[in-house]
A = this chain, B = another copy of it.
Amino acid sequence: MSHEQFKACIEECLRCMQACNHCYDACLKESHKMDMENCIRLDRECADICAFTAQAMSINSSYAKELCRLCASICEACGNECKNHEHEHCQFCAEACSTCAKSCRAMAA
């Protein structure tokens, strides 16, 4: 894994963290929160694992690859949920999750 791929993966995790947190905040303001339970849950779980994995990569942890693998799974689940909702924040988040998942899968390989 080259230094550039490593650095790029940290950036994707941090970009995804921000998109998920913004989507969480926006979902909580939507009037029909009923349908948004899974989106709210996954947004926060995805933001947290992204932040955690970015920290692990930046301290050069021996567990960075295993965290990237788990982070990719959670990003995929969050992205799949978000893309079902037409809100702009959900669509934006789905895209960030998908990009981050790909970057994490490459790191974990």
Contacts and interface: CB of A to CB of B under 8 A. Distances in A.
Interface of A: 10, 14, 17-18, 21-22, 24-25, 28-29, 31, 33-34, 37, 40-41, 44-45, 47-49, 51-52, 54-56, 58-63, 66-67, 70, 73-74, 77
Given A17-B55, A37-B33, A40-B28, A61 B45 contact: yes
A61 B47 CA distance: 13
A10 B29 CA distance: 22
Contacts of A63: 45, 49, 70, 73-74
B70 A41 contact: no
B52 A48 contact: yes
A70 B61 contact: no
A18 B62 CA distance: 17
B28 A58 contact: no
Nearest to A19: B58
A14 B10 CA distance: 10
